[in-house]
């Protein structure tokens, strides 16, 4: 064997013995930011289920309590490539594409099952396409957060929106949130979340609205007398990733990511649903009156208010009727 031939043989052996790991690609880093805490069910679902199901192709890097980017700036950060993923409510999408605002309006999404039905239909396909084409975002999954209910001082019985006439109901600031309070018949009052307990205690406000877990966490039951299970707004978020990044993945990787999101949120959705059921008993044991009003009356009144308001101008033609029909 000539020296030249020996050299070529040696190079061939060397190429075959290069460690496979050295030739493999590095995992794709997925920086994720959310304003909620790491112990919330939807957060646990992402770190314990979603991240694990992604496999070795990805490295999920979660940042909770807005420790990576400020709340409200997540979408822009993803669009600029400073972040890969987030979990955000429709109101954040509506800042760039107003059509998303319909998803956060009172009584449009009725319950967790209806939420899933909407996003499993062609309606969900249309919103995913809007996010992809107009925002450069891919929606991977939907996570239920809990239903918002009215929590009041006093013994006023509330069965219809008219029964909330004159009630000073604390609602988050912003036009959409304030209108939501009006759409259920109350007199909405903006107030910082941290001030609500004192506001209820002193009578500066008559009530507030929040999911039941928030009521317990913030101890609002200590300074109120009743919870009306209005369920006027279904809190949920859409798990998003940069659309260009998603498009660069193989079809198998894309499906893995969608399946992982679906499995994670199926678990966390049930955690919220179970927690809500348990909290009804908790608040009753704490001495609060907990009851359901005439939900059809609330729905009819709320949708009339929205359709008569400029807030519905951006809603896609016929979308409300299509959602209601599901």
| pLDDT (tens digit per residue) in 256-301 | 999 999 999 999 999 999 999 999 999 999 999 999 999 999 999 9
Helix (H, G, I), strand (E, B) or coil at 132: helix
The terminus-to-terminus CA distance of the chain in angstroms comes to 78
Instruction: Enumerate helices (H) and strands (E) in the chain, giving the number of each.
Output: 15, 9
Segments in the chain forming alpha helices (H) = 3-17, 20-23, 41-45, 51-54, 74-79, 90-94, 112-120, 122-135, 175-183, 196-202, 212-217, 243-247, 251-285, 295-307, 319-325
Buried b (16+ CB within 10 A) or exposed e, 141-176: bbbbbbbbbbbbbeeeebebbebbeebbbbbbeeeb
pLDDT score for 184? 98
pLDDT score for 24? 56
Q: What pLDDT digit, counting tens, does each position of 208-235 carry?
A: 999 998 899 899 999 999 999 999 999 9
Distance CA 143, CA 123 (A): 17
pLDDT score for 25? 77
∠ CA(118), CA(70), CA(216), 5° rounding? 65
Distance CA 174, CA 147 (A): 19
Distance CA 286, CA 304 (A): 36
Distance CA 203, CA 192 (A): 15
- Tell me which DSSP letter residue 191 carries: -
Distance CA 142, CA 126 (A): 15
Distance CA 209, CA 169 (A): 7
Number of neighbours of residue 83 by Cβ within 10 angstroms: 24
* Contact indicator for 224, 151 with CB cutoff of 8 Å: yes
DSSP H or E segment with residue 228: strand 226-242
306's CB contacts (< 8 A; 6+ apart) are 105, 106, 179, 183, 312
pLDDT score for 11? 42
pLDDT score for 37? 87
Distance CA 44, CA 302 (A): 34
CA 268 vs. chain centroid, Å, equals 12
Distance CA 238, CA 141 (A): 6
Q: Which residues in the chain come in under a pLDDT of 50?
A: 3-23
pLDDT score for 300? 96
∠ CA(41), CA(130), CA(87), 5° rounding? 15
Buried b (16+ CB within 10 A) or exposed e, 219-233: ebbebbebbbbbbbb
């Amino acid at each position: 064997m000539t020296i030249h031939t020996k050299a070529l043989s040696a190079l061939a052996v060397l190429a075959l013995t290069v460690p496979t790991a050295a030739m493999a690609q590095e995992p794709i880093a997925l920086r994720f930011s959310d304003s909620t805490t790491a112990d919330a069910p939807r957060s646990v679902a992402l770190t314990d289920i979603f991240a694990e199901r992604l496999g070795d192709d990805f490295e999920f890097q979660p940042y909770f309590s807005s420790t990576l980017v400020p709340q409200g700036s997540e979408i822009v950060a993803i669009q600029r490539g400073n972040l890969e993923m987030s979990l955000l409510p429709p109101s954040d999408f509506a800042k760039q594409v107003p059509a998303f605002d319909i998803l956060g309006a009172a009584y449009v999404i009725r319950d967790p099952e209806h939420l899933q039905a909407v996003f499993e239909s062609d309606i969900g396909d249309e919103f995913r396409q809007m996010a992809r084409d107009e925002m450069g975002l891919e929606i991977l999954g939907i996570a239920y957060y809990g239903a918002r209910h009215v929590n009041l001082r006093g013994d006023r019985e509330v069965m219809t929106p008219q029964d909330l006439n004159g009630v000073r109901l604390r609602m988050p600031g912003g036009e959409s949130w304030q209108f939501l309070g009006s759409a259920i018949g109350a007199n909405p009052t903006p107030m910082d979340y941290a001030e609500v307990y004192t506001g209820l205690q002193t009578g500066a406000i008559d009530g507030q609205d929040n999911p039941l877990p928030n009521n317990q966490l913030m101890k609002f039951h200590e300074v109120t007398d009743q919870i009306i299970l209005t369920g006027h707004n279904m809190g949920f978020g859409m798990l998003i990733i940069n659309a260009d990044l998603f498009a660069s993945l193989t079809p198998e990787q894309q499906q893995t990511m969608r399946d992982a999101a679906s499995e994670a949120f199926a678990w966390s959705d049930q955690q919220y649903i179970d927690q809500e059921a348990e909290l009804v008993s908790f608040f009753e044991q704490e001495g609060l009156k907990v009851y359901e009003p005439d939900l059809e009356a609330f729905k009819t009144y709320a949708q009339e208010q929205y359709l008569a308001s400029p807030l519905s101008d951006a809603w896609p033609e016929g979308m409300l009727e299509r959602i209601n029909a599901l």
